[in-house]
Amino acid sequence: MRKHGKKKKIPTKELQYLGARISEARNKSGLTQQELAVQCHRGMRHIQNIEGGLANPSYEVLSDLIHRLGMSANILFFSNMEQVEQEVQHLLCKFAACTEDERQIILNTLDCLAGQFLSRRYTATEETK
């Protein structure tokens, strides 16, 4: 029987992904869970739960972890960020070769397209509810 009647935490796909990225960054930094916990003023069990996908860290905790580990918040929320960054770098090279007027046209066009895609996605999501 469990202590205090607590339910067992079940990791979600998103929290598992987030925890794996934090664990990966911690290992690259050469830190143990205990060292990271001390440096971020958190308990080691909390760090273990985050890395295991069992805890949903607050903004404050994520901020401390991101800053200590020197990582991008984007990596935590976008699972395909490395591929996206490569695609963006490819476009940036082409963008840099354009004149200032051409770059402004590209920026305005992309802003409009992105706005339309997001609007359509969220409108479609609401209609299916």
CA 38, CA 116: separation in Å to the nearest integer?
45
And the tokens for 66?
Answer: 């991101």
User: Minimal CA–CA distance to 71: which of 58, 62, 79, 80?
Assistant: 62
Contact between 22 and 51 (Cβ < 8 Å): yes
pLDDT of residue 88: 86
* Residue at 68: amino acid letter: R
Q: What is the mean pLDDT of residues 56-84?
A: 89
Q: Tens digit of pLDDT for each residue in 5-61?
A: 555 677 789 999 999 999 999 999 999 999 999 999 999 999 999 999 999 999 999
* Residue at 105: amino acid letter: I
Q: What percent of the chain has pLDDT over 70?
A: 89
- The mean pLDDT of the chain is 88
